[in-house]
Amino acid sequence: MAEDGELTDIFDTGDIFANRELVRVGHVPELDRVVGRDEEIRSVGSALAAATEGGPPETTIIYGKTGTGKSLVSRCVTRQASRRAATNGAALKYAYVDCSDYQTETQASRELARELNEHLEAGESIPQTGLSAVDYRDITWDLLSDYDVDSLVVILDEIDKLENEDLLRSLSRARESGKSNTFIGVICISNKIEYRERLNERVDSSLQDNELVFDPYGAKQLRAILENRKDAFKPGVLSDEVIPKTAALAAREHGDARKAVETFYEAGRLAEKNGDGQVTEAHVDEAITQAEVNRFHRLVSGQTPHVKYILRALAALTASEEKKQFRTAEIYDLYTTIATQEGSDPLSHDRVRRLLKEQAFLGITESEHTGGGDREGSYLVHRLMRDPDIVFNALNADHGP
Ligand SMILES: Nc1ncnc2c1ncn2[C@@H]1O[C@H](COP(=O)(O)OP(=O)(O)O)[C@@H](O)[C@H]1O
Ligand SMILES: [Mg+2]
């Protein structure tokens, strides 16, 4: 039997974090933690204003790259609107559906019913299988009427992942078609600006009333976002360089706040794991490298052994030579050596050339035609878009060849 002293240790919460929830992905902080999105917050707020008094929420479409605060602002403002409605004596409910997790019309409709059921604390049992999208929507209409909901806001996040627009259409027409007396508004979110065309074609133009574009953050804004959450850490634990450095790196990565917050958290976890008393720049560097290795590993782990040999060849060339662009023939030579060492028959030159082009498509490499002189004609050169160390690391982490 262990002694008391040892037993209490197993729940030790460490010396680094005071409130780790604040820097966890998926956490929806309060509106006062949202930095530098005042105008966007005001726009979403004004679309929901009437609904805080039991009126119709306006449909809003939000575009912007990943990590620009689209999901956050939508969820925060909607939650706030629902609270305001309650103080006004109106019933404004909301449901958040991440369409990247629920891509079919049936899945998304089921998730909508489930979310509403939960927010209403209705305690209905929503069947997991056996119902159609229409059935799930009927459950939704019933819930809305049973609980006298005045207004409903549905957030369809990553809506471009949804297989079709039937759910959106049905929500925007629920009232006129007599399915529900509740005023329903939708916040559609997409990372793809191209999605606008598709929406324009398929859904009424009335949807385009409120269209917002979220721009990527600059280093200064990212710094402010992290500053505003530094109470996730215990006092004195963060060294001064951590926030500026994390922000600067994330700014370089397309101004993605998700990456900034993730790196912030991971740096803290590394310090904690190593038993270090402080989070330092070195932890930030390590967190970034680790994240890149993980991401790259996910990207390559599904690839065939030959693709991995090709990447290994290109990474080896990039690491050992001054120049960074290589002709297909140069890569092919090293590739055949590696493949043979691994006991496989090398693929043809042409096949390798095509596989390299495919990798460019995944963003792992970049290929371009370079004009040689008249005699040579143009030829294809390839460049690795990652640090070779990361590629080696990820390829080695991969079990299998
Ligand atoms: N303006 C902001 N203020 C505070 N945190 C932010 C801000 N924008 C984004 N974040 C944080 O960055 C992460 C990604 O934001 P998110 O809203 O999910 O981006 P998007 O939906 O545009 O991809 C979340 O953890 C979020 O809390
Ligand atoms: Mg999002």
The domain that holds 340 is classified in CATH as 1.10.10.10
What's the CA-to-centroid distance between 58 and ligand 2, angstroms? 20
The closest residue, in CA terms, to atom 14 on ligand 1 is 258
Question: Is 206 in the same domain as 260?
Answer: no
Task: Specify if 111 maps to a domain.
Answer: yes
Closest-lying ligand to the alpha carbon of 69? Answer: 1
- pLDDT at 206 (0 to 100): 58
Domain of 286 in residue numbering reads as 229-299
CA dist., res. 382 & res. 377, Å (int)? 17
Last residue of a domain, one of 214, 239, 266: 214
Q: Are strands 210-214 and 60-64 parallel, antiparallel or unpaired?
A: parallel
Place of tokens 């500026």: 244
Task: Specify if 21 maps to a domain.
Answer: no
Output DSSP code: residue 238.
Answer: B
Question: Is 245 in the same domain as 388?
Answer: no
H or E element that contains 358: helix 349-361
Closest-lying ligand to the alpha carbon of 216? Answer: 1
Last residue of a domain, one of 283, 299, 315: 299
Question: Is 194 in the same domain as 82?
Answer: yes
Q: What share of the chain is helix, strand, coil (3-state, %, to 5)?
A: 55, 15, 35
What's the CA-to-centroid distance between 69 and ligand 1, angstroms? 4
Within 6 A (CB) of ligand 1 lie 25, 29, 33-37, 64, 66-72, 225, 257-258, 261
Nearest ligand 1 atom to alpha carbon 68: 22
What's the CA-to-centroid distance between 300 and ligand 1, angstroms? 27
User: Where are the extended beta strands (E) located within 142-298?
Assistant: 151-157, 183-190, 210-214
87 is in an annotated binding site: no
Task: Specify if 4 maps to a domain.
Answer: no
Question: Is 206 in the same domain as 176?
Answer: yes
Closest-lying ligand to the alpha carbon of 64? Answer: 1
pLDDT tens for 75-104 read 999 999 999 999 999 999 999 999 999 999
Q: What Rg value do the Cα atoms of the chain yield, rounded?
A: 26
**240: buried, middle or exposed (CB in 10 Å: 19+, 13-18, 0-12)?**
exposed
CATH number at residue 292: 1.10.8.60
- Look at the alpha carbons of 216, 219, 221, 227 in this order and tell me if their dihedral is positive or negative: positive
Question: Is 90 in the same domain as 193?
Answer: yes
Kindly state the tokens that stand for 185: 């508004």
Task: Specify if 38 maps to a domain.
Answer: yes
3-state secondary structure of 386: coil
Q: Domain count of the chain?
A: 3
68 is in an annotated binding site: yes
Through-space distance between the first and last CA atoms of the chain, rounded to whole angstroms: 46
Which amino acid does the sequence have at 99? C
Question: Is 140 in the same domain as 207?
Answer: yes
Q: Which among 204, 206, 169 has a CA at the least distance from the CA of 58?
A: 206
Task: Specify if 105 maps to a domain.
Answer: yes
Question: Is 177 in the same domain as 79?
Answer: yes
Question: Is 150 in the same domain as 130?
Answer: yes
Task: Specify if 219 maps to a domain.
Answer: no
What's the CA-to-centroid distance between 191 and ligand 2, angstroms? 8
pLDDT tens-digit profile, the chain (401 residues): 445 556 666 777 788 999 999 998 778 889 988 999 999 999 999 999 999 999 999 999 999 999 999 999 999 999 999 999 999 999 999 999 999 999 999 999 999 999 999 999 999 999 999 999 999 999 999 999 999 999 999 999 999 999 999 999 999 999 999 999 999 999 999 998 888 777 777 666 656 678 999 999 999 999 999 999 999 999 999 999 999 999 999 998 789 999 999 999 999 999 999 999 999 999 999 999 888 888 888 888 888 999 999 999 999 999 999 999 999 999 999 999 999 999 999 999 999 999 998 877 677 888 888 865 555 567 889 999 888 988 898 888 765 44
Task: Specify if 18 maps to a domain.
Answer: no
Q: Which among 207, 192, 211 has a CA at the least distance from the CA of 62?
A: 211
* Mutation test residue for ligand 1: of 72, 74, 100, 262, the one with most atoms within 8 Å of CB: 72
Any idea what the Cα angle at residue 274 is, between residues 269 and 276, rounded to 5°?
90
pLDDT tens for 220-264 read 999 999 999 999 999 999 999 999 999 999 998 789 999 999 999
Task: Specify if 9 maps to a domain.
Answer: no
Question: Is 265 in the same domain as 306?
Answer: no
Nearest ligand 1 atom to alpha carbon 257: 12
Question: Is 60 in the same domain as 155?
Answer: yes
Output DSSP code: residue 376.
Answer: T
Q: Which among 232, 223, 240 has a CA at the least distance from the CA of 279?
A: 240
72 is in an annotated binding site: yes
Question: Is 287 in the same domain as 339?
Answer: no
Question: Is 62 in the same domain as 124?
Answer: yes
